Amino acid sequence: MHKEIIKDIGEKELIRRIAKYMPANQASDDCAFVENKRQDLLINTDLMVENTHFNHKIISPRDIGWKAVTANYSDLISSGCMEFIGINIGLVLTPSTEWEWVQELYEGFSEALNNFGGSILGGDCSRGENKIISITAIGLQSRLKLRRNACKPGEILLTTGIHGLSKLGLLLKTNKIIKEDLNLSEKLINLSMNAFCRPKPKYNVLKTILHSSEFFLEREIGCTDSSDGFYQAIFDLSKESKCKAVIDYQKIPKNNAWPNGKKWDQFYFFGGEDYELLISLPRNWANKLIEMDEEVTEIGYFIEGSPNVEIKNYPKKYNLDNNSYSHF
């Protein structure tokens, strides 16, 4: 009898199955919510594994340290974190790892913490066949909870920025795309390299959302980040909220120098590691947020229906293939 293996069931199904061992809804978002008499906490853990998430040929240890912190902080932000307490670090190293590599890694941790707040709260280290960096980040829950399962039919779907840049940065770093062959603009190249090596979580946008919430009664709204890709983020909102998402292709914001074509749409929809927020709000609140932050863009809405993502006004000559990222 064939036994199921992780590769066959996939990451999302794995999470669904192990969620039964957790309190209700703890696996709906990337962060765990811990209720406390004094202050509610948000806790998030992310892993970066050598040759899965990084290797020395395409990214420096200092940039890895920065990304490890900001990836975790983006998950905290997308649940409504108002203040970062810090990170706990689990580190697996090969015996041949040079001290300079570790030093540069921790310089990257420190740069990110100096920018966004929090401190290193200890950790542990061990040896292994590949380098592994495990970060557990802790923050304080704001008065407004941001959750994947809080979207409602009739609400407007917003994005805090453009997508696909980090994917392009990765492709340039790995020479899978040669900038000279495509005549890409230097500005787009630089933006993409920075998006891949030095992503910036959307904390300032969260502060604007919190400020705008003063005009409305809701204390929970739909939200996630696009760390696993633009399309996957929208599908996760749809699935957890049990409603259908409708996206208008013509409204999706793109960099002015972003090339046209199916391949570039694939990079945009399924690239990942952009760390933009996808937010669901009632119409009046959505209008208020757009008024307060010009980078926030309306891209669609939610309706009653089976969890799914419909893309309106997509060019008929292209077929968008679902290539959402999976760790397995």
pLDDT tens across 123-132, in order?
Answer: 888 888 999 9
Domains of the chain: 31-141 (3.30.1330.10), 145-312 (3.90.650.10)
Q: So what's the pLDDT on residue 1? A: 62
Average confidence (pLDDT) over 298-308:
97
Residue 213 vs residue 150, higher pLDDT = 150
| Nearest alpha carbon to residue 247 among 159, 161, 309 | 309
| Nearest alpha carbon to residue 116 among 73, 150, 152, 81 | 73
Q: So what's the pLDDT on residue 181? A: 61
Task: Give the lowest-confidence range in 25-39, 107-121, 305-319.
Answer: 25-39
Average confidence (pLDDT) over 104-115:
92
Average confidence (pLDDT) over 182-203:
92
Q: Is the pLDDT of residue 184 over 90?
A: no
Average confidence (pLDDT) over 304-328:
80
Average confidence (pLDDT) over 29-34:
69
Q: Is the pLDDT of residue 68 over 60?
A: yes
Q: Is the pLDDT of residue 43 over 60?
A: yes
User: What share of the chain has pLDDT > 90, as a percent?
Assistant: 66
Q: So what's the pLDDT on residue 301? A: 98
Q: Can you tell me which residue has the tokens 């994947």?
A: 148
| Nearest alpha carbon to residue 206 among 112, 279, 138, 111 | 279
Q: Is the pLDDT of residue 328 over 60?
A: no
User: What share of the chain has pLDDT > 70, as a percent?
Assistant: 91
Dihedral angle over CA of 173, 114, 142, 17, nearest 10 = 40
Total residues belonging to the chain: 328
Answer whether 0.75 is exceeded by the pTM.
yes
Q: Is the pLDDT of residue 161 over 90?
A: yes
Task: Give the lowest-confidence range in 35-49, 53-67, 289-303, 312-326.
Answer: 312-326
**Average pLDDT value over all residues in the chain:** 89
The phi and psi torsions of 225 (rounded to 5 degrees) equal -105, 170
How confident is residue 325, by pLDDT bands cut at 50, 70 and 90?
low
Average confidence (pLDDT) over 134-148:
95
| CA distances to 122, 142, 174, 231 from 206, in Å | 28, 10, 33, 21
